[in-house]
Amino acid sequence: MTDDEDFRIETRAIHAGQEPDPETGALMTPVYANSTYAQDGPGTHRGYEYSRTGNPTRTDLEANLASLEGGEYGRCFSSGMGAINTVLNLLESGDHVVAGDDVYGGTHRIFTQVYEKYDVAFDFVDTTDHDAVREAVRDETALVWVETPTNPLMNVNDIGALAEIAHDGGAICAVDNTFATPYLQRPLDFGADVVCHSLTKYLGGHSDVIGGALITNDPHLDERFGFYQNSVGATPGPFDCFLVLRGTKTLPVRMDRHCENARELARWLDEHPAVDGVYYPGLASHPQHDLAAEQMDDFGGMLSFELDGSLEQASEVVSTTEVFTLAESLGGVESLIEQPAAMTHAAIPREERLAAGLTDGLIRVSVGVEHVDDQTADLARAFDEVLG
Ligand SMILES: *Cc1c(COP(=O)(O)O)cnc(C)c1O
């Protein structure tokens, strides 16, 4: 597909970056299982020299992802963390970063346990409080890191406002768009400089691959990402790229069902006597519901709820469900359930965890694309068994 801006996202998801093979007509991008490429003369090659630097399967995926985000350039990595690390590679010693106080745990870990020792400073603030963000930005601030919706409380951050604060302070704004996906939200359109993804989640969509990506419209940033991609070497193999490319084709249809099921499940939970509260941006009661409605095309497939019970009872509920598999991660076709206090956020001291709203009874679900009636029946059965 040549001029793919003319096509809607459902069409680009399937075709962007991909042409049938000119020699064989093969419809799907082949898995180019190659480390190296024959050269026509020393230094004269046909676009590829070595697969860390570039691989045709990866090229098609990078073009596909860039198109979905409405960006010019895409770069893929062997994990979401590999992508995040590449953004951090832009920093110099003495630089400062402002990030949300509820960023993904792995992001918090690489910030504080890997980069602080290189004399990069991090401030974690409530990014829904724009005054707090403005105050945290200082001369040395080079990067404002944004997630939206956040994990696990589904806070929604205003990408346009935060990008403006970053730019006013001479910093760039990077948005981790893993939870929303480009089908629901395109941060570059709101002024973000870089979009980051864990392809492991909705973009791959089938819980069978680990991957990451960075998308930008800035040729200078893309050139540096390409340099670090090749120099650091956290690049995905061609089969991983193939799996993600296969996943992105059905992203729009999967996301429609994820959103539809999550909306219905959120309403059902909201009325259930065993549930004390539901965190889902699609509910009118969500504090940033209006912002979410403006910024996103739909509200996504992730939600959390407060079980009216103890830490042990919440642990029992997540161990009892059958349609919802007890597991970390998210974004696959299958429903997953987890208890942040005992799993993804267990490393946070209890007092700090409670202060952040991560209570003992909090349960997070990645709502899959099974029939929603089976999902609600599964939770109803688990609530009955555990709470009586
Ligand atoms: C999973 C995840 C990551 C890390 O991605 P990996 O592919 O696991 O390395 C980063 N950000 C968010 C929001 C995630 O959910």
Residue 138 and residue 91 in one domain:
yes
Top mutation candidate among 86, 198, 209 for ligand 1, by most atoms within 8 Å of CB:
198
Q: What is the tens place of the pLDDT at every residue in 6-18?
A: 899 999 999 999 9
Residue 42 and residue 191 in one domain:
yes
User: In the prediction, which pLDDT does 357 show?
Assistant: 87
Among 365, 363, 379, 281, CA closest to 331: 365
Q: Provide mean pLDDT across the span 150-154.
A: 95
Residue 140 and residue 257 in one domain:
no
Residue 214 and residue 319 in one domain:
no
Q: Mean pLDDT lowest for which of 166-175, 272-281, 338-347? A: 338-347
Separation of CA 166 and ligand 1 centre (Å): 23
Residue 196 and residue 287 in one domain:
no
Residue 316 and residue 383 in one domain:
yes
Q: Is the per-residue pLDDT at 100 higher than 90?
A: yes
Residue 77 and residue 147 in one domain:
yes
Cβ–Cβ contacts within 10 Å for residue 109, how many? Answer: 13
Separation of CA 178 and ligand 1 centre (Å): 7
Q: pTM higher than 0.95 for the full model?
A: yes
Residue 149 and residue 221 in one domain:
yes
Separation of CA 374 and ligand 1 centre (Å): 28
Among 136, 127, 195, CA closest to 162: 127
Task: Report the distance separating Cα 156 and Cα 147, nearest Å.
Answer: 8
Provide the strand spans (E) within 73-171.
73-77, 96-100, 121-125, 141-147
Greater confidence (4 vs 2) lies with: 4
- Concerning whether 176 is annotated as a catalytic residue, the answer is yes
Residue 204 and residue 222 in one domain:
yes
- Residue 198, ligand 1, Cβ within 6 A: yes
Domain range spanning residue 361? 251-387
Q: What is the tens place of the pLDDT at every residue in 173-215?
A: 999 999 999 999 999 999 999 999 999 999 999 999 999 999 9
Residue 204 and residue 149 in one domain:
yes
CATH number (domain holding residue 303): 3.90.1150.10
Top mutation candidate among 201, 208, 209, 241 for ligand 1, by most atoms within 8 Å of CB:
201
Greater confidence (35 vs 344) lies with: 35
Among 211, 232, 249, residue at a domain's last position: 249
Task: Report the distance separating Cα 116 and Cα 111, nearest Å.
Answer: 6
Residue 360 and residue 377 in one domain:
yes
Q: Is the per-residue pLDDT at 2 higher than 60?
A: no
Among 209, 226, 249, residue at a domain's last position: 249
Q: Which residues are CB-neighbours of 385 under 8 A, at least 6 positions away? A: 316, 320
Among 187, 219, 249, residue at a domain's last position: 249
DSSP code string of 269-324: HHT-TTEEEEE-TTSTTSTTHHHHHHH-SS--SEEEEEESS-HHHHHHHHHH-SSS
CATH number (domain holding residue 38): 3.40.640.10
Task: Report the distance separating Cα 250 and Cα 14, nearest Å.
Answer: 7
User: In the prediction, which pLDDT does 355 show?
Assistant: 86
Q: Is the per-residue pLDDT at 1 higher than 80?
A: no
* Count of domains for the chain: 2
Altogether, the residues listed in the chain come to a count of: 388
pLDDT-based confidence at 55, cuts 50/70/90? very high
Residue 162 and residue 132 in one domain:
yes
- Residue 178, ligand 1, Cβ within 6 A: yes
Q: What is the tens place of the pLDDT at every residue in 209-238?
A: 999 999 999 999 999 999 999 999 999 999
